[in-house]
Amino acid sequence: MNHDSVVEVEALRFQQEYRQTHPEVTVLDPPDAIQHLHNRQSMLQAVADMDLSLSYGKVGVPKQLVIKKDASSISEAVGNVGLKLPLVAKPLVADGSEKSHQLSLAYDKYSLQKLEPPLVLQEFVNHGGVMFKVFIVGEAIKVVRRFSLPNVSMWEVLKNAGIYHFPRVSHAAASADDADLDPCVAELPPRPLLERLAKELRRRLGLRLFNLDIIREYGTRDHYYVIDINYFPGYGKMPEYEHIFTDFLLGLVQSKYKKRTTY
């Protein structure tokens, strides 16, 4: 176990002991559940396990592969599992740092060895260049549009080669809410679908403060993919965040007070 892992384990142990000795303190979300979202290998597993398919839409995750070391074997590993190019490369650790949000797009398998493990490779799904950021605060849900990577044609895959690096794609400055978009691309995911998805993830993840990055497969109306889950995202980017977050905190206090008065 490396030094960082030891520090994390000790920090979690301290937090758990503190919760036990100070039951009067309200914990918004348990630290061990938060840790689950710091790894892109595990963060999307809850979505994959749900296999959510309803009358108003289907939600899944892109096919992906985790590479922990040895970049020279990436091309062979990609071929073994049948991943299709182009591939999106993301750092395996999703700790909220600027580096953890950096993306790369790989067009050919020979350039894959230039990537730096540990990382996650996801099949790129054309989605019209628009991503939906779904903010979840307790039972409240808010959705905003963000510009994302543009569609990639088969001709572009055959023509291009190499690795293309991108800055933080879904930054607040890239808001697409007021842009003149194709209605088929801009249409928000159905509210009932998001409510069902959020409810299930709150239960499976054991968290109340997170956001989902969701895309709609281009050319479809109801095929969605969750491509990232972030804990305690920048809620300042969420419309009406002051009121929503205040109501959430007040609800926690009132719920705790009611529990005390019933005993």
- Structural domains present in the chain: 30-251 (3.30.470.20)
Per cent of the chain over pLDDT 70 is 90
DSSP-H helix ranges across 22-161:
31-35, 45-50, 74-81, 154-159
For the stretch 49-63, pLDDT in tens is 998 999 989 999 999
The whole-number pLDDT of residue 178 equals 73
Nearest partner of 206 among 13, 49, 10, 35, judged by Cα: 35
Looking at residue 9, its pLDDT comes to 60
151 or 96, greater pLDDT: 151
- Widest distance between CA atoms in the chain: 70
The residue-averaged pLDDT of 119-135 equals: 96
Higher-confidence position of 2 and 114: 114
pLDDT at 159: 84
pLDDT tens digit sequence for 23-48: 777 788 888 888 889 899 889 999 99
Q: What is residue 101's predicted lDDT score, i.e. its pLDDT? A: 78
pLDDT band at 127 (very low <50, low <70, confident <90, very high): very high
* Confidence check: pLDDT of 2 > 60: no
> Of residues 255 and 40, which shows the higher confidence score?
40
Which of residues 263 and 155 earns the better pLDDT score?
Answer: 155
Looking at residue 26, its pLDDT comes to: 79
Handedness of CA 119, 80, 215, 141 (dihedral sign): negative
Contact 8, 34 (CB under 8 A): no
pLDDT band at 243 (very low <50, low <70, confident <90, very high): very high
**Phi, psi of 217, rounded to the nearest 5 degrees:** -60, 125
Residues 175-194: pLDDT tens digits? 777 777 888 899 999 999 99
pLDDT of residue 10: 66
Higher pLDDT, 261 or 83: 83
Q: What is the pLDDT of residue 201?
A: 97
- Whether residue 251 contacts residue 243, with contact meaning beta carbons closer than 8 Å, is answered with no
Taking only the tens place, the pLDDT of each residue in 220-238 is 999 999 999 999 988 888 8
Residue 171 is predicted with a pLDDT of 53
Count of CB atoms situated within 10 Å of the CB of 255: 10
Residue with tokens 């020279």: 72
Residue of 133 and 233 predicted with greater confidence: 133
Mean pLDDT of all residues in 65-84: 92
